Amino acid sequence: MFKQIDNKLTQSWNEYPQFGVLQGVKVFVSGTNIAGPFAGCLMAEMGAKVLQAESPNIACQTRGTTAWAQCHRNEYSVTIDVSKPKGKKFFLKCIEWADIWIEAGRPGSYAKRGLSDSVLWQHNKALTIVHVSGYGQFGPYKDKASYDVSGQAMGGYMYMNGVSPTSSPLKVNPYLSDYVTAYNACMVALAGYINAQKTGEGDSCDVAQYDTMFRLLDYYPAKWFNYPNGYPKAGEPVPYRTGNKHDMACCFSFYDTKDGGSMFVAIAGQGPVSRGYPIIGMGKQGVDFPDKCTGIPLYDPLGQKAERLCEKFCAEHTCDELEAIFNKAGVPCQRAYGPEDILNDPQFEARENLVEWEDQCFGKMKGIGVTNIFKKHPSQIVCASPCFGEHNREVLADFGYTEDEINAMYKSGDLATWTPKQTAINKQYVEWRFFWDPENQAKRLGMDYPPKRG
């Protein structure tokens, strides 16, 4: 089921393989966690050479988890402290090397250290800069701390979601705001890069998590802010919070099935309606429901009838039966997949959505493969996620530093490197149950098991 990826545990800085549509593109990422750095992961799998920087004193919160192992493959790792002169010098070397810089620090934190956009363009005129933050680089909330849910909450996305019009708003797992913002950051980074290739000059983009989530609200803001009484007053029921049901269309929801499953059915659009309504017992088009009908509002009496019939029809059939019936009729349907469904599904297998690769800390892993299938220049997984500061020496040497200078930076604390064993110890892999086979995985790294208590 899982395709075995022939990846390397580590990849030499000067021997990065040429592949993918982004081969030759150089990306420097100095943010941590997800909203900024995941953009680097997406570009690395498309062939970009991605250098991730963390503070020598504070590793990324995701480091030491399977999230790091999954989302930082193909990347390089260095440690930089821009608050120190040697760290600032190293940082500027990275800026001079890069085509794209993505950062996710507190707004203005780099400018306060003399590293404003204008200063960076003095070192690299064509650099594309992407600033990722919760609330943006300006505005009264720019200095507020932010996490994924902050973006969902302020962007209006949570307002839309709940189990009923009178329920509390709901967040969407896992980390929707973080991951969508990273996709947005990836898009604007490459847009800026393309523009720099044409003009020779870089640009800077301010990406905010709440902005990104707000942009996903479809037509609802236009409805709220143009129609009289377009949205509920404080304390009133919110009609959009309808759980799995659509707030407008009937027969567009998840339905319980005879075998205890849950099936999404979408009898919406002229073709699916003309073929789907008769299946659930709504009668004939042009007689029992309008000709050329594209769907009926859920609040309409006819829509309520269709909804009851769809619920009844699904409750009388198994998931397999419903898929066979609706697929034959060209009516969109999809059962809600869990891990077992994903593991055994031929579509996942055909598109190699699940792969095995070798990780430095965990050993053999199974997880998500590459997405977005290019025909001529396919994406690849060529090496495991890097350990903390793993490529300090290689990168600094390539930037012209001598061995003595590099050793001095380690001695002064400007640099730090963890081996896989140190990573597992520092991040408490055994104690926090990050290992799924703790005894063998710990022994593989030369660790004591059970761990000795100091």
Q: Which residues are marked as active site?
A: 178
Nearest residue to 99 via CA among 31, 133, 50 = 50
- Strands 204-208 and 262-266, by their bridges, are unpaired
The DSSP annotation for 111-143 comes to: HHTT--HHHHHHH-TT-EEEEEESS-SSSTTTT
- 425-429 long-range CB contacts below 8 Å, 24 or more apart? 426/59, 426/64, 427/59, 427/63, 427/64, 427/65, 428/64, 429/64, 429/361
Report helix, strand or coil for 289: strand
Cα maximum dimension of the chain: 87
Give yes or no for a contact between 396 and 407, defined as CB atoms under 8 angstroms apart: no
Q: Order the strands of the 354-359 sheet from edge to edge.
A: 3-4, 354-359, 363-368
Paired with 355 in beta bridges are: 3, 367
Tokens of 440: 């063998």
Q: How far apart (Å, rounded) are the C-alpha atoms in residues 175 and 98?
A: 28
The alpha carbon dihedral of 332, 335, 338, 344 has a sign of negative
**Which helix (H) or strand (E) element contains residue 54?**
strand 49-54
Q: How far apart (Å, rounded) are the C-alpha atoms in residues 312 and 306?
A: 10
Give yes or no for a contact between 317 and 235, defined as CB atoms under 8 angstroms apart: no
Q: How far apart (Å, rounded) are the C-alpha atoms in residues 268 and 104?
A: 41
Q: How far apart (Å, rounded) are the C-alpha atoms in residues 392 and 81?
A: 13
Q: Is the peptide bond before 107 cis (omega within 30 degrees of 0)?
A: no
**Which helix (H) or strand (E) element contains residue 196?**
helix 176-199
Q: Could you count the other beta carbons within 10 Å of the beta carbon of residue 300? A: 12
Helices (H), 236-384: 270-280, 301-315, 319-329, 339-344, 346-350
- Write a three-state SS string for 139-185: CCCCCCCCCHHHHHHHCCHHHHCCCCCCCCCCCCCCCHHHHHHHHHH
